[in-house]
Structure 1
């Protein structure tokens, strides 16, 4: 099964307007399977959320984390169960903090890397100089309420360029919730899991193996058949509330490689088959799903990178 995750959320423990209990209630009503608590520079909400979930036998799962919020950029951490000090953050060596968080078992990622910075929102843009792109685990390629072209499209392209260079980076997205905001037709992160699976372990597996999806509604799923030298792409419904799509609008499959982009029409009823020959036997493929046309405004889903 595919699980919908909301991986960037704040409460009254930092600068959000929802208490931990209110955040849980809000996300459950929107049919979220699991969420991350990522308050700014504090894990004070962890205990309150654990207590609430146990007391109320809530079906939703929590991924415990934090957002390191500095003057040089924001760093998301998932599965961070112990506060890691960051007072000596170095704009020229973010790898030091990446390593410290990873040593505690955390998954480490760059949040909204191209967000507006000074003078609009000092510190939101990621201005740290990364020298080792193997030193962290993922990039938040879409922060839903940020500008599409100036911020999110640049984040997507940055991730694509790094993966095409061979770096094993996963991607996520987030609402960056600070209140009861409308999540209709926005991107959510999806991973594979089981009904009673441990969400922290499932997220760890997904990010370590670059098996995350983001989507506003349906997922783009690939099945590689190396013996036949082809890949079959299908569209899987997630039932995400608020997804908007007209039946008359065609879907398009787009696959980016180092050599270019291949585009094919695809249907929810008829899979699209792509041969490795069409892709010039490129070893890394980056599939995306669009509707109407392949402008960024009509991007529906980003699928995991395919490495042949």
Structure 2
């Protein structure tokens, strides 16, 4: 499987950004990204520059739009055509998300716990979600140095609560990128796992996001596999109910990704496997080695409805989560 570095929340001067799509794509390429989703507020007009931007930079540009309303912002990615955001009222986000899906896209909550009015009108999520399966993902890390922000910690806990309720929904990061400005703040990346490497990257990336085949990080890529009944299941997959009682888990940390684009200074890290039953395994690691390292764990599968991997360490003197995978589920 090929994992690609994606930025799923961006803006140009077609809404409130201060950059062209070409400038955005060029900046993303310099940071080691392979694809971006253009998600201007309530418009897709910026995509008129898509072909030229892709040709000049080699960047894959996924069409999208951020539905920007008084009740919250919903990021839509992978649309084949414009879907009218004005249909969404406080109780109608599910119908809106369904319309997005009918046009090839996925829909997710953007920065759900960011301050709302009067600081940022509509930025705080107020939509009433009757069925959580109407949405495909939650943007749990938003902005720069995302994991240390209180609103992002709330979003991450909110996602975990949904998993514990039996909702199968993905988690992503989004820079909410508006301009080309120099920064030394840690940048989070959403990696999407492409199963069909012969398919168009944009289409396969959207399919991966829809299936929850994603991992988020400030640096190294963390991946997860589970072996049950002689079969291997990856991130986003569901393991059938008939199980042996023991589960073989393989977690890998790839420090070769986006080489030279990130730096973590702490000498030790902790890899944690956690799920609906709490923490099920831990492993202390040395700092990023510039290679791919893997560890295997045997854990009981009874009582588990989901499991994920988290990488914890110190960034700029702050003990924080550095990376996490999406879940593997259990039927």
TM-score norm. by structure 1 comes to 0.89
- Taking a change above 3 Å as real, the CA distance of residues 83 and 150 of structure 1, as seen in their structure-2 partners, is same
Instruction: Pick the structure with more strand per residue.
Output: 2
State the SS of the aligned residue for 1:102: helix
C-alpha distance in structure 2 between counterparts of 1:124 and 1:288, whole Å: 27
Q: In structure 2, how many angstroms separate the alpha carbons of the residues matched to 1:31 and 1:226?
A: 35
Aligned to 1:33: 34
Show the counterpart of 2:239. none
- Preserved CA contact (<8 Å) 1:184 1:242: no
CA RMSD, Structure 1 to Structure 2 (Å): 2.4
Tell me, what secondary structure is at the counterpart of 1:299?
strand
Q: Which residue in the other structure is 1:245 paired with?
A: 264
Tell me which residue corresponds to 2:275.
257
Match of 2:173 in 1: 173
The verdict on how the C-alpha distance between 1:304 and 1:240 changes in structure 2, with shifts beyond 3 A counting, is farther
> 1:46 maps to what in 2?
47
Shift of 1:89: 2.0
Alignment partners' CA distance in 2, 1:281 and 1:5? 34
Distance of 1:5 and 1:88 partners within structure 2:
29
Name the counterpart of 2:10: 9
Question: Structure 1 residues 219-228 or 121-130, which shifts more?
Answer: 219-228
Which of 255, 277, 284 is the matching residue for 2:306?
284
State the alpha-carbon separation in 2 of the partners of residues 116 and 32 from structure 1.
28
2-structure distance, mates of 1:297, 1:186: 16
| Paired residue total | 303
Asked whether the equivalents of residues 42 and 85 of structure 2 are also in contact (C-alpha less than 8 Å), the reply is no
In structure 1, distance between residues paired with 2:260 and 2:172: 19
Gaps of 5+ in 1: none
Native 8 Å contact 1:229 1:275 kept in 2 = yes
Q: CA deviation at 1:23?
A: 1.2
Instruction: Determine the C-alpha separation between the residues in 1 that align with 2:314 and 2:184.
Output: 22
Cα pair 2:31 2:261 within 8 Å, conserved: no
Question: In structure 2, do the counterparts of structure 1 residues 240 and 36 end up closer, same or farther at CA, with 3 Å as the change threshold?
Answer: farther
* Post-superposition CA distance 1:76-125 (Å, at most 9, x none): 01111311112232112211211221221111111001111112111100
Indicate the residue corresponding to 1:223 in structure 2: 225
Would you say the 8 A contact 2:53–2:59 is kept in 1? no
Secondary structure (helix, strand or coil) at the match of 2:10 reads coil
Change over 3 Å in CA distance of 1:119–1:184 after alignment to 2: closer
Q: 1:88 to 1:232 in 2, by over 3 A?
A: closer
The residue correspondences of 1:73-222 to structure 2 (distance < 5 A) are: 73-145=72-144, 148-181=148-181, 182=183, 184-193=185-194, 197-222=199-224
Q: Is contact 1:30–1:241 with CA below 8 Å preserved after alignment?
A: no
Q: Which runs of 5+ in 2 are unaligned?
A: 230-245
Could you say which residue in structure 1 is the equivalent of 2:236?
Answer: none
Shift of 1:298: 1.8
